[in-house]
Amino acid sequence: MMSKSIRMYQHLALLCSIKMPHNGIIPISEEGKEHLSDTQIFIKNVLANDDIYNTIYTDVYTQDLIQQHINGDRLAFLSPIYGILLIGDFVEDTGIYYSNGGYLPTTSLYDDVEYGRFFHGYNRW
């Protein structure tokens, strides 16, 4: 179960039934409180609530509530029993889900030869 205990967040390794990897910033009102990260505070104050925790995988209203709470951010819940649950707008590419499109190659007005020649002020000619 996700815990409301601050002491639980001080351990370097824990066994738990649901994991929630997160790499963004969750908007919270208790910044820096108790020396916990935004993700830890969100888990402690929101997800550790029994009504929310027990229905994360089964209730679309709970998922919508979480979606509203994270304000456009993205969360992944991983469970050996229930599988993967993604909340937020993930980018799917050939069966792989990304939290944003930053992995996509960027396009340039310059072709590779010209861009490579003048990259960072370096001129090969």
Report the candidate in 9, 14, 67 with the shortest Cα–Cα distance to residue 41: 9
Retrieve residue 65's tokens: 């509530």
pLDDT score for 32: 53
Between 27-36, 46-55, 95-104, the lowest mean confidence (pLDDT) is in: 27-36
Examine the pLDDT at 1 and tell me if it is beyond 50. Answer: no
pTM of the predicted structure, to 2 decimals: 0.68
Pairing outcome for strands 83-87 and 96-98: unpaired
Question: Do the Cβ atoms of 42 and 48 come closer than 8 Å?
Answer: no
Phi, psi values for residue 33, rounded to 5°: -65, 135
Examine the pLDDT at 124 and tell me if it is beyond 90. Answer: no
